[in-house]
Structure 1
Amino acid sequence: MRSERQEQIARLEGEFLGLVRSAVEAENAARRVGSEPLSVQVEPLGDRPGGETPADAQIVRAAVAATRAVGGRPELAAASTDANVPMSLGVPAVTLGAGGEGGNIHTLGEWYSNRGGSRGIDRALLVALAAAGVEPV
């Protein structure tokens, strides 16, 4: 489950778990008498907090400028990444792509080509320099 707000994550989790419990109860009610009842155990795999960095934050502006400088098209979007932790603490953060090209993300057909991959390193360096206060030349 993903959200920029922690309270929405908690609400969604509660709704989801309630639906799972209801589904198990409904299946058990429909099973033959004497058959073993179904059960479910939900184990969270991770717990990323919600968070958001404003689009006008310095680090976002630096990431947008760096992306354009290496020939990319900036895409601002919410996602579940390691940047969620600092954002949940009020620290502005961004996640940068690795460079290269890819598609069909999170599917069996996911692919990646490192053609242009060095642009990801260039972009990360430009953002780090901007965050350190180094002026562009």
Structure 2
Amino acid sequence: MKLNRIHHIAIIASNYEKSKDFYTRILGLKPIREIYRKERDSYKLDLEVNGEYQIELFSFPNPPKRPSFPEAAGLRHLAFEVDAIEEAAEYVAQHGIEVEPIRIDPFTDKKFTFFADPDGLPIELYQK
């Protein structure tokens, strides 16, 4: 078997409208399609990341809370590459989101930082 690339990443939001605003307005991901699945009482919003990758944002009634930090099993974080880490971190902070201090990866010498989505999912910005 040969894997070609990551096809999509699925995220379940506890507050769909709040997360939809976060991913589209603040992070600037482009909506591709939004559907309501009546049988599941669930919205599904497909999001485009720079025309290449796709994130599926879901709503479900009463999803369980995310396991506690610091290192719960499962998805650790979602990382986005950016051209200018300082500008990207400042942009996120201007939206009232706490951004960790920028650090340098000791193996790649690239700058990176973290912040969280509305449900506490860690999101990393990584310098190109």
TM-score band (shorter)?
under 0.3
**TM-score, normalised with respect to structure 1:** 0.24
**TM-score, normalised with respect to structure 2:** 0.25
When Rg is computed on C-alpha atoms for both structures, the one with the higher figure is: 1
Higher strand share: 2
Higher helix share: 1
